[in-house]
Amino acid sequence: MKKIKPRTLSGFMELPPSEQVYFDAMAQKFKDTFKLFGFTALDTPIMEASEILLAKGGGETEKQIYELRRGNTDLALRYELTTSLAKYVALHYNDLAFPFRRYEIGKVYRGERAQRGRFREFYQADIDIVGDGGLGILNEAELPSVIFKCFAALGLSDFVIHVNNRKVLGGLFEIFGIKERAGEAMRLIDKLGKIGGGNLIKSLTDELCISNQTAEQIVGFVSYSGDPFSVMDKYMGKSGLFDTGADELRSLQTHMAAFGVPDTHYKIDLSIARGLDYYTGTVYETFLTDHPELGSICSGGRYDNLSECFSDRKMPGVGMSVGLTRLFYILQEQKLLNDSFLSAPADVLIIPMTDDLTHAIKLAENMRRAGLRVQVYGENKKFKNKVSYADKLCIPFVVFLGEDEISKEIITVKDMRSGEQTSASAGILTAGICGKIKNYSDSVIAYGQG
């Protein structure tokens, strides 16, 4: 038979089993946290009619969409989860209760140029709350609080969620009389972290024909490092939009404190603008404290009209999105995954030392009933090979079950880390293993001091 060289496409993450365990545990923490806040799961198709996915139109992203044709239909693979949500809400409007709170964790596809750390197939984890007609400010405080709890549950502690409100920036531009250049100004401000204050002043004056004095005032405002409310106070009462934005940021702060987010983990950062016109209120970006160069690991914001391509109804919402595949790549690269996390596929390997496997199978069943993950090694191999199988998979406990044990109604357990070997009744040793397994760390990530 002709052999084909096996390969996986570049830009597609395919993990070894022991790393997949970390990835899955990470995704599970997000799910569990989303559920505690009453978010409902959606699982929308990966493939849609092209006209649906391209409804919003425009930009670089469109070029990256994987398209295919089947019969008379142009099909495409989704490149993010928001368009699928917009379609879902418009299509199933009558069956939903609003505010509609959903999460979706799923694969998306972008035909990006192949390079390290860029993925063509990757997971996004999105949460959104979508209102019918209106949506209260509480939701804008809840989302970053949920995200804080997700990261905390993962064991990640050195991160800060930066929040701002586009109404504040929009109001500021009104005050300076450059309202009609607001979108471009926001896109430039979004680059402050990369280019620095001096270059931002230059860009604002050169590209947007803003006076040097105004540009300096804008940059002074967005890069103010003291109490953000004190710099906002100077402009209060001059623009309704600005005042609303400042009030919303104040509510956000009050509510996030009630949600239990410590002020070490979020920050009102007036320079967060986000490039997209889509956002109309609160905006978010999240940075690892020691690695701002890695960019935001979770972003989002308030939008006013989720389904405008599909429906006449005004459905404002707020959403945040984590690129799980990229986050996992970063955590691996930075060696932030927790070594003490149990990544073995089983807690126990039973090695039967008799031809009759019945006792081993029954013992395994009893141990599973106690919640342990158990394999029985049933292959006809040398003893050495059986033990090295457990070693290679890092299975922490090996049970030997020979004639001697069976006749005495005991089992022999080897703790593979300490090398210690104990013989006693199956009940006692099963309970002992359960106790030791519970002591393994529950944290996927080991980063920061909490």
Q: How far is the CB of 121 from a copy of itself (least distance, A)?
A: 5
Site for a copy of itself in 82-141 (CB under 8 A): 87-88, 90-92, 95-99, 101-102, 107, 109, 111, 120-121, 131, 134-139
Site for a copy of itself in 5-64 (CB under 8 A): 5-9, 12-17, 20-21, 23-24, 35-49, 51-52, 55
Q: Which is nearer to a copy of itself, 147 or 210 (CB)?
A: 147
355 contributes a contact to a copy of itself by CB under 8 A: no
380 contributes a contact to a copy of itself by CB under 8 A: yes
Residue among 308, 434, 440, 448 that touches a copy of itself (CB under 8 A): 308
Structure tokens at 190: 């979004």
CA distances from 341 to 180, 327, 444 (A): 53, 18, 6
Q: What residues does 121 pair with on adjacent strands? A: 12, 109
Q: Which is nearer to a copy of itself, 213 or 366 (CB)?
A: 366
Site for a copy of itself in 171-230 (CB under 8 A): none
Q: How far is the CB of 23 from a copy of itself (least distance, A)?
A: 7
Q: Which strand ranges, in their side-by-side order, compose the sheet holding 47-49?
A: 47-49, 73-77, 67-70
Site for a copy of itself in 235-294 (CB under 8 A): 254-255, 258-260
Residue among 118, 181, 191, 373 that touches a copy of itself (CB under 8 A): 373
> Cis before residue 352, ω within 30 degrees of 0?
no
Q: How far is the CB of 224 from a copy of itself (least distance, A)?
A: 28
* Sequence-distant contacts of 33-41: CB under 8 A, at least 24 apart: 33/146, 33/149, 33/150, 33/153, 34/103, 34/127, 34/146, 34/150, 36/149, 37/101, 37/142, 37/146, 38/101, 39/101, 39/102, 39/103, 39/127, 39/146, 40/101, 40/102, 40/103, 41/102, 41/103, 41/104
Q: Which is nearer to a copy of itself, 48 or 269 (CB)?
A: 48
410 contributes a contact to a copy of itself by CB under 8 A: no
Pairing of strands 348-352, 159-165: unpaired
